[in-house]
Structure 1
Amino acid sequence: MPHFEDFYAAKLRGALGVTDADSVLDLRGTNRPTAEASLKDMLERSRFAKGKTVAIRLDAPPDGGGETLFQPAGRLLLEAKRKGLLERLQTLPAQDGLGFYVALTGKQERAAL
C-alpha cells in the first residue's frame, strides 16, 4: 500500500468536513452583521495564534429560495486567502451542510537569524 501525505490522502477519501476540523464556528441562525463580525474576529485572532482548521457552518437557503450567508462569507474568506491569512479554503461536503472548511495560517514563526 503506497504512503500518501495527509493532504493527498484526504483528497482520496473525499472533501474535508466538520469532523476533520480542529474547531467549528457555527453561524447558523445568525444575521449577516453578526456573522461577518464573527468571521473577522476569527481571522484577526488567528494572526496571533498557531494555525488550525475551522469548519464554518451556515444556514441552508429557506424553502423556495432566498438569501444566505454563503456569498458574503465566501467573499470575506476569499479576501483573507488573498491576504495570506488562510492556507486552504473549500466548501464543506454535502453531508455536513452549507459552509466552508478553512485552514488558518496563524502566526508566522520568525526565521532564525
Structure 2
Amino acid sequence: MPHFEEFYADKLRGALGVTDAESVLDLRGASREQAAASIQDMLERSRFAQSKSVAIRLAPPPEGGGETLFQPVGKALLEAKKRGWIERLQTLPAQDGLGFYVVLAGKPETER
C-alpha cells in the first residue's frame, strides 16, 4: 500500500497471525519450564541470525479456568523487546487462538 505509512497499512490489513509468520513455535502442551527454555533458545539463536517473524502458539485455559503460559511467556518476550532483540510484539488474532506474533530483530548490521 504505497499511500500509507507501514503502521497504518498494517492496521488496515488486520492483525498479523500464524499464516503471516515465517515460522511457528508451538508451545501448546508444553510445561512452564519447557516453554521458558524454548523461548530463551529462540531468543538466543535469533541474535546471530537474520530477522524473522515467529508465531508463538499457546494452549487455551483448561476447562473451568486456570493458568496458561500467556503471562510468563509475555513477560519474557517483553523483556527481550526492551533489550532490542524483538522489533515487533503483538498478540495473535482471535481466530488463531492464544499466543503472540513476534518479529525478531536478528543480528545487528555492523558498520564497515
TM-score relative to the length of structure 2: 0.94
Task: Mark the runs of 5 or more structure 2 residues left unpaired by the alignment.
Answer: none
CA distance in 2, matches of 1:105, 1:7: 17
Report the Cα offset of residue 109 of structure 1.
1.0
| 1:62-77 equivalences in 2 (<5 Å) | 62-77=62-77
CA distance in 2, matches of 1:96, 1:5: 26
Report the Cα offset of residue 2 of structure 1.
5.7
Report the Cα offset of residue 94 of structure 1.
0.2
Partner in structure 2 of residue 42 of structure 1: 42
Partner in structure 2 of residue 16 of structure 1: 16
Partner in structure 1 of residue 3 of structure 2: 3
Report the Cα offset of residue 7 of structure 1.
4.5
CA distance in 2, matches of 1:9, 1:64: 39
Q: What RMSD, in angstroms, separates the aligned Cα atoms of the two structures?
A: 1.4
Percent identity reads 74
CA distance in 2, matches of 1:3, 1:68: 41
Task: Mark the runs of 5 or more structure 1 residues left unpaired by the alignment.
Answer: none
CA distance in 2, matches of 1:72, 1:53: 20
State the one-letter code of the partner of 2:16: L
TM-score relative to the length of structure 1: 0.93
SS at match of 2:34: helix
CA distance in 2, matches of 1:69, 1:106: 24
CA distance in 1, matches of 2:76, 2:20: 22
Count of residue correspondences = 112
Post-superposition Cα deviations, 1:53-78, rounded to whole Å, max 9, x if no partner, equal 00000000011110000000000000
Post-superposition Cα deviations, 1:38-67, rounded to whole Å, max 9, x if no partner, equal 000000000000000000000000111100
Partner in structure 1 of residue 53 of structure 2: 53
CA distance in 2, matches of 1:85, 1:63: 35
